[in-house]
Structure 1
């Protein structure tokens, strides 16, 4: 038979109310009594009934992580699970469960959120950018339901969100390549409609404009986040009269395709052309040569998102809209410092 709070109170020779206060971290109980009761709990192997406690305090004990999932999501979007792990590391110490809810599209996400709020099955929700839509965001704001959108929504809203600054990522990539001595730099990315790709490109273009560097229109290509698209975009670059001496690839899949296209044209990376990408997925080190990357600490984004959401659950009036992490440059062998090489030859 399971040990009850009455058993603990009797064994510790205190009242049930005292045990309850200790379980709920209430003040005015002496440290010695608290330690004594906790030792009794441990000796009796007592675990409080979380479901009953949640019912009493009108809480579900759940924080939902919502994201769009499809075939090969783990391969094409691995940062989603790093974010999830970061959030879990915070939430597991706060007496909350973190159920993962995968949905087919943004409409499905919207319907799922309405059900969560209507049935009171969660105390808060972390919404991955893949599941974000204006109806979903408007619904959460209207109902004042504790939430954090992971990734800045591509529209104006009073919703709570956190993100990394992808414009800074694009600027960092360009700044590093210029420091290395590259001058003819191309950018191959995802669809024009994609927010992340567009912001990274804006950072690249902004740096070029501020430093009065020439931007060649035919050095900017749009495609999809696939190896095949990366190959085709690189092929287009390599069939032009003037070749770039460095290429910024918007993700690892595109970079893999770009490397294969360079090999087809018998170009050596980094000897003939430098290459840099974003996000330090395991794939970036498996490609030959290992890729120089502008990395984003997505695990920390998950931690920050969960921490802020816990604060918002306790203080529904809290509003947060911010960039929480800065990118980090990891130099590997897909780029080389042309300036240093020139000096060494003198």
Structure 2
């Protein structure tokens, strides 16, 4: 026979309504009463009916994560798992569940968000991307739905967001290569519509300009956040009459493809081509050679974004944009051991 709320109330020496208030986290319930009731709930193995609780409290205790399209590409990138690990750590601590959703195109993404919001299935949302003229952000602002963007909005001011200073991060990565004596530096980019790509491109070009080094369109290749994208980029970028001797790469997984492509073309890393990438995922130090990478605090991005959206749900004041510090982790891939050609 299943344990009921009356069983918990009897053993804890309180009324069933008090147990209900503890479950709903009512502010007038003392910490001592709440602790005693929750200890009895655990002892008896009582689990609240969350659907019934939602009907009473008008909350779902669920946060939605909207995946960028195509979501299957994101799931191939280790950056995503570290980000979600940070999200889950905060949500679990706060007693919230996570729901992931997305769409294969812009219309499907917006339809999904409308279904979640208007269907009352989530209390708040996390967006893992930022694009130009994004209808999802426009809809969420109109609906006054709590949401936090991991990244930077290209169109709206004061959007709650957690981000890195991607201009400075790319500037630092490029300057590291310049400090190594590199003069022909290329850039393996992400989708041009993303704010992150635009910011990292800006940091790269700023560093080149300040050093008086050339920017050549043939040394810049746009792609996706996939190993295959980095691999394909090498056939194009290294076929230039005067190819670059160093590369800034948008993402570690893309850099894995760059390593593969360069090896097949007969280039040695770092002797012929030096590489710096971003995200510092665990596998970046296990490649041959290990990859220099900008650590963007991926776990902290997810954790802080979750923390912000929960505070918004509680109608607490937040700083609209939080910046997570980055640091360059230098490894063998960017340290030239022979003279520059």
Compute the TM-score of the two structures, normalised by the length of structure 1.
0.84
CA distance in 2, matches of 1:302, 1:237: 34
Does the CA-based 8 Å contact 2:296-2:325 persist in structure 1?
A: yes
1:65 to partner: Cα distance: 1.1
Q: CA deviation at 1:293?
A: 1.0
Q: Within the alignment, does 1:277 sit opposite 2:277 as a pair?
A: yes
Could you tell me which residue of structure 2 aligns to residue 213 of structure 1? 212
Deviation string, structure 1 residues 193-212 (Cα, Å, up to 9, x no partner): 443222112101112323x4
Q: Counterparts of 2:188 and 2:41 in 1: how far apart (Å)?
A: 60
* Corresponding residue pairs, total: 337
Find the aligned partners of 1:46 and 1:14 in 2 and give their Cα distance: 15
Aligned residue for 1:122, secondary structure, equals coil
Whether the 8 Å contact between 1:278 and 1:294 is mirrored in structure 2 is: yes
Which has the higher mean CA deviation after the structures are superposed, 5-14 or 118-127?
5-14
Equivalent position of 1:60 in the other structure: 60
**79-88 or 319-328: bigger deviation:** 319-328
TM-aligned CA deviation for residue 295 of structure 1: 2.2
Between Structure 1 and Structure 2, whose CA radius of gyration is higher? Answer: 1
State the Cα distance separating 1:43 from its structure 2 match: 3.1
Looking at structure 2, the residues matched to 18 and 260 of structure 1 have their Cα atoms a distance apart, in angstroms, of: 63
1:132–1:185 Cα change, 3 Å: closer
Residue 149 of structure 1 corresponds to which residue in structure 2?
Answer: 149
Following superposition of structure 1 onto structure 2, how do residues 267-346 of structure 1 map, counting pairs within 5 Å? 267-315=267-315, 318=317, 320-336=319-335
Q: Does 1:160 align with 2:157?
A: no
Closer, same or farther in 2 for the Cα pair 1:291/1:7, shift >3 Å?
same
Contact 1:167 1:203 in 2 (8 A): yes
- 1:265, CA displacement in angstroms? 4.8
Counterparts of 1:122 and 1:331 in 2: how far apart (Å)? 41
Hey, what's the Cα distance between the residues in 2 that align with 1:34 and 1:146? Answer: 28
Aligned to 2:79: 79
Change (3 A) 1:209 1:26: same
Instruction: Indicate conservation of the 8 Å contact 1:171/1:206, yes or no.
Output: yes
Distance 1:16 1:163 in 2: 45
Aligned ranges 1:66-215 → 2 under 5 Å: 66-68=66-68, 70=70, 72-74=72-74, 76-129=76-129, 134-210=134-210, 212-215=211-214
Moved more, 325-334 or 125-134: 125-134
Matches of 1:71 and 1:300 in 2, distance apart? 22
Which range moved further: 231-240 or 53-62? 231-240
Structure 1 residue runs without a partner (length 5+) = none
Which deviations, in whole Å up to 9, do the C-alpha atoms of 1:48-98 show, x marking residues without a partner? 333222221111222111114547425544323322221111111222221
Asked if structure 2 preserves the Cα contact closer than 8 Å seen for 1:63 and 1:96, the reply is: yes
CA RMSD of aligned residues (A): 3.0
Q: CA deviation at 1:290?
A: 1.9
Distance 2:42 2:99 in 1: 28
Give the 3 Å change call, closer, same or farther, for CA 56–331 of structure 1 in structure 2: same
Query: Offset at 1:12?
Result: 3.2
**Secondary structure, aligned partner of 1:65:** strand
1:29–1:324 CA distance, 2 compared to 1 (3 A)? same
CA distance in 1, matches of 2:58, 2:71: 37
Q: Which runs of 5+ in 2 are unaligned?
A: none
Give the 3-state SS of the residue equivalent to 1:98 in structure 2: strand
Relative to 1, partners in 2 of residues 1:254 and 1:21: Cα closer, same or farther, differing over 3 Å? closer
Worse-matched range after superposition: 34-43 or 272-281: 34-43
